[in-house]
Structure 1
Amino acid sequence: MNQQPHFFFAVRIPEETKRIMKNHLEKLQETLPFSRWVHPMDLHITLAFLGAAEPEKLKLAETYVKEALHSEESFTLKINKLGFFGKEDSPRVFWADTENSEELINSRKKVFQACLKAGFVLETRPFRPHITLARKWKGTGEFQTDLLNVWHGLQPEPLPFQAKDVVVYQTHLNQTPKYEAVTIFPLKS
């Protein structure tokens, strides 16, 4: 059965930050047993998940996002801690967090509204910016939240990076890495 590709808008993580995170991920995998780790080239911050998208509707969303972001400037984000979604003893999603950023919130709001305007039905949960690192706890015991402190041993200071563009990614489930940037919206530098 041939699955339709899924699309989403995201802040792209720069290559140099992905290289640093690759080293961190290798060390995290030694102490945190999760079933599936994200390929370092797939690291991103999702702004709006579209799912399967008709080409015309996707193009319309891209047009609206381009208009919405035309005057937005690039901004600095800082990866500062680890967290998880799901049950405390058996997390479903393991992620890296960034320090609060009004620029990120504002960019997400513009992208989200543009996608709604194009006719997409989007997730209604509050926006919780994060960089997914792994999925599904598979440890022999319960997950211990103090394991999240391992980040500060790897990265004593927050890890800064410049958010320079918003990207439309297409998902290729049978490839690694599985996200392909199909459209890029550069932010002003």
Structure 2
Amino acid sequence: MSTHYFWALALPKSTKQTMHSQLGDVVEHFPFKRWVYWEDYHITFAFLGSAEEQKLRRSIELVGEAIENERTFLLNLQGLGVFGSKKSPRIFWASVKKNDKLMNLQSLVFKACLRSGFTLESRPFAPHITLARNWTGDDFDHNWLDTYNPYQEKLISFPANEVVLYKTNLEKIPKYEPIATFSLISE
């Protein structure tokens, strides 16, 4: 399998640890086949797939230029959600509260990747942090997303302060390796 690349908002290590810790209480209620290793939590901005070195270098240059004046901002986890079949979801994720600055940042990165020559997904950006994949239980009950939401009572806020180009290494843990990192301007 070829190596894949993607641009994402990195989460602070302490945020990832807190998320993982709070999830510990609800994992038993959500029998998914594969849980994402906590150090791999992120918010994907643009999935590039396999890529030529020249296109990657161009995307690094253009993303850096596009976001060079962007400032750090706060994000809040909001809840849980799923993608895929209603009875047997494919992806289990944590949602991020709607934030215009996040939407703008993703748009800047996405457009820079398009200008770099990449063909990207055309679905609207739905900010989320993938937690697990492939439901293995009986029919999924969507009420569980509220009932077992660990982020309702213990709100997690975190700074959005780094945009990263990641390389996927399927044989390693963590499997996402930073290739280029851009820090946003601190307030």
**TM superposition score normalised by structure 1:** 0.95
Letter in 2 for 1:32: F
For the residues of structure 2 that align with 1:152 and 1:29, how far apart are their CA atoms?
11
| Per-residue Cα deviation, 1:85-136 (whole angstroms, up to 9, x for no partner) | 0111111100000110101100010000000000000000111110000011
Q: Which runs of 4+ in 1 moved over 6 A?
A: none
Letter in 2 for 1:18: K
For the Cα contact (< 8 Å) 2:5–2:168, is it kept in 1?
A: yes
Q: SS of 1:27's equivalent? A: coil
1:168 lines up with 2:169 in the alignment: no
For the residues of structure 1 that align with 2:44 and 2:114, how far apart are their CA atoms?
15
Q: SS of 2:109's equivalent? A: helix
| CA positional deviation for 1:4 | 2.3
For the Cα contact (< 8 Å) 2:80–2:149, is it kept in 1?
A: no
| Per-residue Cα deviation, 1:137-160 (whole angstroms, up to 9, x for no partner) | 101x21101111144455414310
For the residues of structure 2 that align with 1:125 and 1:61, how far apart are their CA atoms?
20
Equivalent residue number for residue 188 of structure 1 = 185
For the residues of structure 1 that align with 2:48 and 2:149, how far apart are their CA atoms?
34
- Aligned-residue Cα RMSD (Å) equals 1.2
Equivalent residue number for residue 109 of structure 1 = 107
1:99 lines up with 2:102 in the alignment: no
Q: Which of 144, 148, 152 is the equivalent residue of 2:145?
A: 148
Q: Between Structure 1 and Structure 2, which shows a larger proportion of helix residues?
A: 1
| CA positional deviation for 1:82 | 0.3
| CA positional deviation for 1:77 | 0.6
Equivalent residue number for residue 45 of structure 1 = 43
Q: Identity over the aligned pairs, expressed in percent? A: 44
Letter in 2 for 1:187: L
1:20 lines up with 2:28 in the alignment: no
Q: Which runs of 5+ in 1 are unaligned?
A: none
For the residues of structure 1 that align with 2:116 and 2:150, how far apart are their CA atoms?
44
| CA positional deviation for 1:21 | 1.1
Q: Which runs of 5+ in 2 are unaligned?
A: none
For the Cα contact (< 8 Å) 1:25–1:133, is it kept in 2?
A: no
1:135 lines up with 2:133 in the alignment: yes
Equivalent residue number for residue 6 of structure 2 = 8
Letter in 2 for 1:4: S
Answer with 149-158 or 112-121: which moved more: 149-158
**TM superposition score normalised by structure 2:** 0.96
For the Cα contact (< 8 Å) 2:79–2:151, is it kept in 1?
A: no
